[in-house]
Structure 1
Amino acid sequence: MKTILNIFKKSLLYILIFTVISVAVDLWRTRDFTSSESPTTHAMTISGNLIDLNTVSQDKPVVVYFWATWCGACKFVTPTINWLSQYYNVVAISASSGEARRVQAYLDSHDYQFENINDPKSQISSRWNLKVTPTIAIVENGQIKNITTGITTPIGLLARLWLL
């Protein structure tokens, strides 16, 4: 019984340490955001829909997902984003991933259903002052409410949305 209790205690300690490190890294990586106002983002999705991020975020929060087809960490995060898109507004922005038809083929091959804006020269990503993929921002009423970078869990992402 003591062994199980020790394993449980150690597991909780590791989870706590991981959480503290993760929050610290997110704070460090988001230090470049001097304003909580999201950069104006008007763009056409690959499927042909015009998106105005600030307008869309007026009704309910929008998850803005910056990713790339070549990004290794994105391979772990994108399925979560795809699942989340069934319940929340998601606008994905594929940075430096090539032509729109190449990105669409990638999305189709993985059966991803979220709206995606192709950003082949990373112009949108630059306006947001992003340096890391994946980056996930939660925008509500045109304001950045939360930003995280790197691998995130479904529970971590849901917690960020619920805590708004």
Structure 2
Amino acid sequence: MVKGKVKAKKSVKNWRKEVLTYVMVFIAFGFVMDAWRTQDMPLDSMPAITGMTQNNVPVDVITMSKQKPVVVYFWATWCAACKFVTPTINWLSDSYPVVGVSLNSGEDRRVLRYLNAKDYHFNNINDVQHDISSQWGISVTPTIAIIDNGEIKTITTGLTTPWGLLARLLLTQI
């Protein structure tokens, strides 16, 4: 009977170790992918994001970031991963300033209808001419940058969890 309990404890211990190993590999893979996807982005000097949102709200990300970290969210209406990330961005916009930049998503009315249909209320600039996305070197949607005091503090691409994004925001304030 004792051998069975010892064997069961070893099995649980091995299972935990294996799960932890997979989690660590997954996290490392995410960091490598972020580094590769953001290699053409201007990490040293932040290009300005200014303009009018689709709801006619003036936006200046650098000025906004002097008061509180700003989440800049490069996304598209057709992006499959964005369908999972955008609700998190919308949720964060209740506590943090968010500026969405929609890419290749059509004319302003189409993007505004999309945002309204999904009940998303974050500020959004429709980058129809690709001016902002070109200056930023965006190659993947979604891409999320956190700006604090006019500096890029962190950038992530692809899928992210609400807790991962919130942790990034909290770490920028330390």
Match among 60, 63, 85 for residue 93 of structure 2: 85
Match of 2:161 in 1: 153
2:55 & 2:135 partners in 1: Cα distance? 23
1:123, distance to aligned residue in structure 2 (A): 1.8
Matched ranges for 1:102-121 at <5 A: 102-121=110-129
Match among 142, 156, 165 for residue 134 of structure 1: 142
Cα distance per residue 1:24-48 (max 9 Å; x no partner): 1111222223442210111110111
TM-score by length of 2: 0.89
Match among 75, 78, 93 for residue 70 of structure 1: 78
Matched ranges for 1:34-53 at <5 A: 34-53=42-61
- The answer to whether 1:28 aligns with 2:36 is yes
Match of 2:5 in 1: none
Any stretches of 5+ residues in structure 2 without a counterpart? 1-7
Number of aligned residue pairs = 164
AA at the equivalent of 1:69: T
Cα distance per residue 1:59-96 (max 9 Å; x no partner): 11100000000111111110111111111111111011
- List structure 1 runs of 4+ shifted beyond 4 angstroms: none
Cα distance per residue 1:89-134 (max 9 Å; x no partner): 1111101101111111111111111111111232211111111110
The structure having more radius of gyration, on CA atoms, is 2
AA at the equivalent of 1:37: S
Any stretches of 5+ residues in structure 1 without a counterpart? none
**Contact 2:41/2:138 (8 A) holds in 1:** no
For the residue of structure 2 that corresponds to 1:163, the secondary structure is helix
**Contact 1:36/1:145 (8 A) holds in 2:** no
